C-alpha cells in the first residue's frame, strides 16, 4: 500500500466486485478496552482494575499507540494493528446508535432495522435487505448472512441466502446422499435453496480438508471465529452474488471480571481480531474492494462497576476495515474523554451516528445518491468522513 489507498470505487461506482460486510458484536462490547483513550487521566481513574496500561508502560500488556491520544488493545497486535499500520483500519469513537433503551433486545433491533429512533419499529425490513434492494436492479449484488437463521438486518423483500459456517464444518452428507437430496427437489420451488445449502456444505468441507492439509505442513489450524471468517471470505470471494455480507459475534456482555490486557474480554477481542485479519487475508485481491464495518448495539459504562466489569451504556467505537480505505487513523467527530463529556454522566456520547457513517460508505462504495441512501436509512443524518 505504499502508493496510498486504492480508489477503485470512486472510478467505477457500484463495480460488481465490491464487497460490504457488517460484523455485529451482540451484547454491547466494551469499546474503551479496544480503543483506549490513554491520554485521559479520567480513564485510569474510572477504571482502577480494568484499564489497559499506557503504551510503553507495561511491556506486552500496554496499549499499542495509534496516535497521541488513542491506543489499541494489545490482543490485536498481530491482527488488526497490522491492518492499521497498512492504513487498512479506521476507528471512529463516539459512534453508534442513538437508542437509549440500554436493552440488548431493543437496541439490536434498532440497529438492524436502521429506521431511526423514537418511532414505531417496523419489523418488515432490515437495512441490509433494503441496501440489496436498492443495489439490486443494476449489478447483480446479493446478500448473504453467515448465521443459523436470517437475522432482522436482512429480513425484507429481497431473498437473501443464509449460510451457517460455525462448527466443525464436516459435511454430514456424502456425495451420493447429496445427489439423492438434490434429485428429490429438482423442479420444486425449494430446489434453489436446497442446492445452495448443500453446495455450501460441500465447499466448506472441502476447505476444511485443505485446512487439514495445510496444518500438516505446519500451518496453524484456525479455530472459532477465525475459522468461520476465513470460510466467509472464501465464499464471498468466489461467489459474485455474495456481495453484501453479515455475521454476528456474541459474548460481549461483560458485567463481571472482564479483565484488562488479559482475561475474558481480551480473549474475545483477540479472537475477533484474528478473524478479521484472517478474513482480509483470505479475500486476496478482493480485499482491495472490500469494506468491513464492525458495530455493536451500544457501548458500556465508562466507569467500571463493583464487579470489575461494565454495564450497559451508550456510545461505542465503530471499526472500518478494507484493503482500499484511507485508514491508519481515527476519525469522525471527537471530544476529550472526561467526566464532563460523558453522556448522562456514565457513558460515551454518540457524535457519529452509525447510519450516517454507513450511508457515507454506500455513497463512496456504490455511488448511491442521497435519495438511495434515504431508502436504506430513512431520515438518517449525513456525516462528514474521509476514509474512502
Partner 1 sequence: MLWASDPAPRYAGNSSVSSLCHFSLVALMMLCSTAISAELSGDDLRAINRLTFGANDASVDAYLRAGRAGLWAQQMRYVGDEALPPQARDMVRAMTITGTPVRALVGAYEEEAKRLKDLPEGEGRKARHKELNERYKFILEEAQRRRIIRALYSGNQLQEQLTWFWFNHFNVFQGKEKVKLLVADYDESAIRPHVFGRFRDLLLATLMHPAMLVYLDNAQNAVGHINENYARELLELHTLGVDGGYSQQDVQELARILTGVGVNLDSRQIKLPPRLRGYYVAQGLFVFNPQRHDFGEKTFLHHRIQGRGFDEVAEVIDILCSQPATARFISTKLAVYFMGDDPPANVIQRMQNAFLASSGDIGHTLQAMFDSSEFWRDDYLGKKFKDPVQYVFSAVRLAYDGRMITNYKPVQNWLHALGEPLYGHQTPDGYGMRQKDWASAAQMTKRFEVARHISNAGPKLFGPADADENESPQPSTAGDMQPAIAQSRTFMRMQPLLSEQTSQALAQAKDNREWNALFLSTPEFMYR
Residue 128 binds to partner 1 (criterion: CB under 8 A)? no
Residue 172 binds to partner 1 (criterion: CB under 8 A)? yes
Residue 120 binds to partner 1 (criterion: CB under 8 A)? yes
Residue 173 binds to partner 1 (criterion: CB under 8 A)? yes
Question: What are the grid coordinates assigned to 340, written together?
Answer: 464532563
Residue 188 binds to partner 1 (criterion: CB under 8 A)? yes
Inter-residue contact 28 to 296 (CB < 8 Å): yes
Q: How far is the CB of 266 from partner 1 (least distance, A)?
A: 20
- Roughly how many angstroms between the first and final C-alpha of the chain, as a whole number? 15
Q: Report the alpha-carbon distance of residue 11 to residue 18 in Å, rounded.
A: 12
Q: Report the alpha-carbon distance of residue 25 to residue 327 in Å, rounded.
A: 21
Q: Output 136 or 197, the one with its CB closest to partner 1.
A: 197
Question: C-alpha distances in angstroms, 127 versus 160, 204, 275, 369?
Answer: 13, 28, 24, 16
Q: Output 149 or 371, the one with its CB closest to partner 1.
A: 149
Residue 109 binds to partner 1 (criterion: CB under 8 A)? yes
Binder among 105, 118, 216, 217 for partner 1 (CB under 8 A) = 105
Question: What DSSP string describes 13-42?
Answer: TT-TT-EEEEEEETT---HHHHEEETT-HH
Q: Output 257 or 375, the one with its CB closest to partner 1.
A: 257
Q: Output 41 or 190, the one with its CB closest to partner 1.
A: 190
Question: C-alpha distances in angstroms, 64 versus 43, 73, 74, 79?
Answer: 16, 7, 6, 12
Q: Between 277 and 316, how does the x/- string for binding to partner 1 read (CB under 8 A)? A: -----------------------------xx---------
- The full length of the chain comes to 388
3-state SS, residue 196: helix
Number of amino acids touching partner 1 (CB under 8 A): 35
- Segment interacting with partner 1 (CB under 8 A) among 29-37, 73-81, 172-180, 315-323: 172-180
Which residues have a Cβ under 8 Å from the Cβ of 112 and sit 6 or more positions away? Answer: 24, 126, 127, 151, 152, 153
Residue 118 binds to partner 1 (criterion: CB under 8 A)? no
Binder among 162, 254, 290, 356 for partner 1 (CB under 8 A) = 162
Q: How far is the CB of 219 from partner 1 (least distance, A)?
A: 27
Can you give the binding site for partner 1, defined by CB under 8 A? Answer: 105, 109, 120, 123, 147-150, 161-164, 172-173, 176-177, 180-181, 183-188, 190, 193-194, 196-198, 200-201, 256, 306-307
Amino acid at each position: 500500500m505504499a502508493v496510498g489507498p486504492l480508489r477503485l470505487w470512486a472510478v467505477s461506482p457500484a463495480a460488481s466486485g465490491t464487497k460490504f460486510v457488517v460484523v455485529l458484536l451482540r451484547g454491547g462490547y466494551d469499546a474503551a478496552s479496544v480503543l483506549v483513550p490513554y491520554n485521559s487521566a479520567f480513564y485510569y481513574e474510572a477504571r482502577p482494575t480494568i484499564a489497559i496500561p499506557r503504551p510503553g508502560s507495561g511491556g506486552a500488556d500496554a496499549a499499542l499507540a495509534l496516535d497521541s491520544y488513542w491506543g489499541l488493545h494489545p490482543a490485536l497486535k498481530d491482527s488488526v494493528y497490522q491492518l492499521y499500520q497498512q492504513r487498512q483500519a479506521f476507528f471512529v469513537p463516539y459512534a453508534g446508535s442513538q437508542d437509549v433503551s440500554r436493552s440488548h433486545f431493543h437496541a439490536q433491533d434498532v440497529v438492524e432495522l436502521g429506521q431511526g429512533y423514537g418511532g414505531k419499529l417496523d419489523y418488515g425490513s432490515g437495512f441490509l435487505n433494503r441496501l440489496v434492494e436498492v443495489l439490486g436492479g443494476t449489478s447483480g449484488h446479493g446478500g448473504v448472512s453467515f448465521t443459523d437463521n436470517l437475522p432482522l438486518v436482512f429480513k425484507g423483500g429481497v431473498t437473501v441466502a443464509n449460510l451457517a459456517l460455525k462448527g466443525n464444518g464436516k459435511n454430514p452428507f456424502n456425495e451420493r446422499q447429496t445427489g439423492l437430496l438434490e434429485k428429490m427437489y429438482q423442479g420444486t420451488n425449494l430446489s434453489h435453496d436446497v442446492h445452495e445449502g448443500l453446495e455450501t456444505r460441500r465447499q466448506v468441507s472441502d476447505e476444511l480438508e485443505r485446512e487439514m492439509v495445510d496444518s500438516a505442513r505446519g500451518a496453524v489450524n484456525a479455530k472459532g471465529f477465525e475459522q468461520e471468517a476465513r470460510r466467509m471470505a472464501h465464499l464471498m470471494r468466489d461467489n459474485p452474488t455474495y456481495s453484501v455480507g453479515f455475521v454476528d459475534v456474541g459474548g460481549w456482555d461483560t458485567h463481571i471480571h472482564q479483565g484488562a490486557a488479559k482475561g475474558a474480554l481480551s480473549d474475545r477481542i483477540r479472537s475477533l481480531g484474528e478473524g478479521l485479519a484472517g478474513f482480509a487475508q483470505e479475500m486476496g485481491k478482493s480485499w482491495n474492494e472490500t469494506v468491513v464495518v464492525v458495530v455493536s448495539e451500544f457501548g458500556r459504562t465508562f466507569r467500571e462497576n463493583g464487579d470489575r466489569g461494565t454495564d450497559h451504556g451508550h456510545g461505542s467505537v465503530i471499526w472500518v476495515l478494507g484493503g482500499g480505505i484511507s485508514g491508519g487513523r481515527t476519525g469522525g467527530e471527537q471530544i476529550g474523554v472526561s467526566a464532563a463529556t460523558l453522556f448522562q454522566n456514565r457513558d460515551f456520547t454518540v457524535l457519529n451516528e452509525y447510519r450516517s457513517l454507513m450511508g457515507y460508505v454506500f455513497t463512496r462504495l456504490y455511488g448511491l445518491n442521497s435519495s438511495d441512501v434515504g431508502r436504506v436509512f430513512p431520515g438518517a443524518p449525513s456525516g462528514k468522513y474521509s476514509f474512502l
